[in-house]
């Protein structure tokens, strides 16, 4: 083996070793944390959001409002949430921060204050190295999906 080929393989070996070590850490971590949020479409200006924690550990959640952005002709939630003052002009939520115990669920009432704005209402949970985000969508001026013909209803 030449010095050049040894130099190229040593960093690859190091990266492979680090990757396997990280996989071992992930594999030995406690039960994965998760949460549920429904409905995924906010179709009424007033209602309740159901948050649930199916995991075996307690989790902290915050409800945040995200603007709608277009990316490759598809709508999605912006990467950063609206400032709380702006979000409070679009939707009222109480509480917006909570902790859910293992297997617990909670309903959070909401009121859309500005029905002319499209937005995502997302439950956000910081969990170790990961941030989990589950979003519900409010669409301005769209009739509820139940009243649309089947060929016009979107997922």
Cα 9 from Cα 17, distance rounded (Å): 12
Cα 125 from Cα 134, distance rounded (Å): 9
Mean pLDDT by runs of 10 across the 155 residues of the chain is 48 40 41 84 96 93 96 93 96 94 96 96 91 94 49 43
Cα 80 from Cα 83, distance rounded (Å): 9
Owner of token pair 């949970």: 125
pTM for the predicted model, two decimal places: 0.71
Determine the pLDDT at residue 127: 85
Q: What is the DSSP letter of 117?
A: S
- Burial of 84-112, coded b for 16+ CB within 10 Å and e otherwise, reads eeebeebbebeebeeebeeeeebebebeb
- In 3-state terms the chain splits into helix, strand, coil percentages (rounded to 5) of 25, 40, 35
Determine the pLDDT at residue 28: 41
Determine the pLDDT at residue 141: 76
């Amino acid at each position: 083996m030449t010095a050049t080929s040894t130099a190229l393989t040593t960093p690859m070996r190091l990266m492979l070793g680090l990757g396997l070590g990280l996989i071992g850490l992930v594999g030995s971590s406690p039960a994965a944390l998760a949460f549920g949020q429904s409905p995924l479409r906010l179709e009424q200006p007033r209602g309740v959001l159901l948050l649930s924690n199916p995991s075996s550990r307690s989790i902290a959640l915050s409800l945040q409002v995200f603007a709608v952005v277009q990316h490759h002709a598809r709508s999605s939630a912006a990467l950063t949430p609206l400032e709380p003052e702006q979000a409070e002009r679009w939707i009222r939520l109480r509480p917006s921060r909570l902790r859910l115990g293992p297997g617990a669920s909670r309903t959070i009432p909401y009121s859309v204050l500005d029905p002319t704005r499209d937005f995502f209402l997302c439950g956000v949970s910081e969990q170790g190295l990961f941030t989990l985000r589950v979003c519900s969508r409010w669409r301005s001026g769209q009739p509820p999906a139940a009243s649309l013909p089947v060929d016009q209803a979107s997922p």
